[in-house]
């Protein structure tokens, strides 16, 4: 399947600021001080309140379309809708296609929030624990889906920006297999076969 390069914007930086990002190898954090944990829910609620009626409608339509394929992995309807809402929000905040994030999660963890790989990667998007010191705060729990999704989308958006919108290379970086194509192909096939809207 041929995929056009994704046109990236600087929107991923807003996620990085929310996480008080210190990018690997950078001398200065993007945010002057860590975001107080009590402020995070307020900031996330504020992000939702800025959606237009059209954006809210698009989000609802997307959740309805994705509910059936997600039911293969998540039995509980309320849990599915909560997860889909969060994935949509985090992907859009990062400037990523939400259905690509579904494909990545399918490949990484099969939607198991408590998944831990043999390499120590954690949660839905299989985040390596060293990212907590790079992007967040010591209290961040990578098994908590909202935190895990925020990290995963931030990391993928960062790699996509580095690779000038090249999904194959960005996904290979995400997996730690840059130069190989087996992992991007798995994600792209899952995206095409299960999640991508016509």
HEC readout, 3-68:
CCCCCCCCCHHHHHHHCCCCCCCCCCCCCCCCCCCCHHHHHHHHHHHCCCHHHHHHHHHHHHHHHH
User: Is 45 a residue whose pLDDT tops 80?
Assistant: no
Residue 180's pLDDT is 95
Number of independent structural domains in the chain: 1
> Residue 2 domain-assigned?
no
State the pTM of this model: 0.76
What mean pLDDT comes out for the span 8-14?
A: 40
User: Is 21 a residue whose pLDDT tops 80?
Assistant: no
Partners of 122 in beta bridges: 116, 127
Dump pLDDT digits (tens) for 103-123: 999 999 999 999 999 999 999
CB 136 within 8 A of CB 151: yes
Residue 130: other Cβ atoms inside 10 A: 10
The domain containing residue 184 runs over which residues? Answer: 12-21+40-195
User: Is 147 a residue whose pLDDT tops 50?
Assistant: yes
> Residue 26 domain-assigned?
no
H-helix segments, 95-166: 98-109, 130-135, 145-162
- Alpha carbon distance 132, 26 (integer Å): 15
CATH number for the domain that contains residue 188: 1.10.530
CB 105 within 8 A of CB 74: no
What mean pLDDT comes out for the span 110-138?
A: 93
pLDDT tier at 2, thresholds 50, 70, 90: very low
> Residue 118 domain-assigned?
yes
> Residue 27 domain-assigned?
no
């Amino acid at each position: 399947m041929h995929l056009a390069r994704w046109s990236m914007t600087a929107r991923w930086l807003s996620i990085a600021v929310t996480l008080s990002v210190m990018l690997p190898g950078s001398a200065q954090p993007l945010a002057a001080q860590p975001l107080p944990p009590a402020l995070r829910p307020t900031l996330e609620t504020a992000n939702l309140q800025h959606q237009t009626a059209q954006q809210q409608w698009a989000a609802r339509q997307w959740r309805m379309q994705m509910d059936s394929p997600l039911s293969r992995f998540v039995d509980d309807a309320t849990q599915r809708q909560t997860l889909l809402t969060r994935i949509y929000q985090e992907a859009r905040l990062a400037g990523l296609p939400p259905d690509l994030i579904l494909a990545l999660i399918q490949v990484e963890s099969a939607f198991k929030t408590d998944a831990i790989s043999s390499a120590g990667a954690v949660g839905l998007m299989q985040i390596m624990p060293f990212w907590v010191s790079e992007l967040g705060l010591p209290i961040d729990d990578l098994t908590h889906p909202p935190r895990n999704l925020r990290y995963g989308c931030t990391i993928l958006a960062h790699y996509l920006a580095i690779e000038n919108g090249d999904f194959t290379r960005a996904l290979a970086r995400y997996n730690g297999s840059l130069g190989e194509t087996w992992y991007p192909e798995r994600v792209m096939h899952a995206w095409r076969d299960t999640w991508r809207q016509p």
